[in-house]
Amino acid sequence: MNIAKIFIGAYNVLRGKPWEAGFDLSAQALPKSFLAVAAYIPLGIIAAKAAVKFNANTSNVPYGPIAITLCLITLTFPLIAYVLCMVFDKMDRFRPWVIVRNWTILFVLILIAAVLGLYLVDLLPFFLAYLTALILYICTLFIDIRLAWRVAEFDWMGAVFAGILISAATMMVLALTISQNII
- Reported as a single tens digit per residue, the pLDDT across 162-177 is 999 999 999 998 888 7
Averaged over 132-137, what is the pLDDT? 95
Residue 128: predicted pLDDT:
96
Residue 182: predicted pLDDT:
55
Mean pLDDT score of the chain: 91
Q: Residue 152: exposed, middle, or buried by beta-carbon count in 10 A (0-12, 13-18, 19+)?
A: buried
Count of C-beta atoms within a 10 Å radius of residue 51:
13
For the chain, percent of residues with pLDDT exceeding 70: 96
Residue 5: predicted pLDDT:
95
Top pLDDT among 152 and 72 is at: 152
Does residue 58 have a pLDDT over 80?
no
Q: Residue 162: exposed, middle, or buried by beta-carbon count in 10 A (0-12, 13-18, 19+)?
A: buried
Does residue 153 have a pLDDT over 60?
yes
Does residue 134 have a pLDDT over 80?
yes
Domain ranges of the chain: 31-182
Backbone angles phi, psi at 16, to 5 degrees: 85, 15
Residue 183: predicted pLDDT:
45
- CA gap 132, 159 in Å, rounded: 25
- CA gap 57, 70 in Å, rounded: 23
